[in-house]
Amino acid sequence: MNLALFDLDNTLIIGDSDSEWPKFLIKRGILDAEHHARQNDYFYEQYKAGTLDIYEFLDFQLAPLTRFSRSELDTLHAAYMEEHIKPIIPQKARDLLAAHFAQGDEVMIITATNRFITGPIARELGVEHLIAVELEEDGQGNFTGKPTGTPSFQAGKITRLNEWLAARGETLDSYDKVFFYSDSRNDLPLLSIVSNPVAVDADATLKAHAEAHGWPVITLRD
């Protein structure tokens, strides 16, 4: 059996679910557009440069979740899926996932975005296994605005994947092939240890690295 790992943002979707969520909240008057855009640009430049402080970013990105009950957030997320996410899922991404399902591969999304945002997206794509940033909850099931465990970002994706495999009594060597599809230089640590790395609509750094190492470079854009 093979294991097929997929990054989510700018890989399986044409955009970034972390960025689409605040756009959705701004449209509803929940966030201040100017302040959020300024902070988001600050963090996005760090992300592109590979220098993002994931904990500083999470403090910023998770703060709005503390303003609502879990039921209110779930209602908002349902609208967010319809308005912001489903329109940016390309058919080629669905087709690639379907091809791996048809081969009997184990399929997983592994993302640096939090589980609240990405869980429903994984379900929409038919993907059972998800590694994402986990969120702390209070005694009533509401979010505190803090992450728990190791964030699944850069080398943290390797840590979290190894934890998932160990819980199943497996290692990467348990699989005939391990694919990882990603667009980002931030995923080079995990891309470099799997048997079948694939650059998908890659940033300049990842594309250059992939071409230098003979990795497939593909697009999932329709």
Task: Cite the active site residues.
Answer: 7, 9
Q: For residue 91, with 0-12 CB atoms within 10 Å meaning exposed, 13-18 middle and 19 or more buried, which class applies?
A: exposed
User: What gap in Å lies between CA 13 and CA 64, rounded to an integer?
Assistant: 23
The tokens describing 172, both together, are 């990467």
154 torsion bin: left (phi>0), alpha (psi -120 to 50), beta (else): left
Residues in the chain: 222
Phi–psi pair at 12, nearest 5 degrees = -85, -20
Closest CA to 1 of 107, 94, 99: 107
Closest CA to 133 of 157, 113, 162: 113
Q: Give the three-class secondary structure for 54.
A: helix
Rg (CA), the chain: 17
* Residue 205: other Cβ atoms inside 10 A: 15
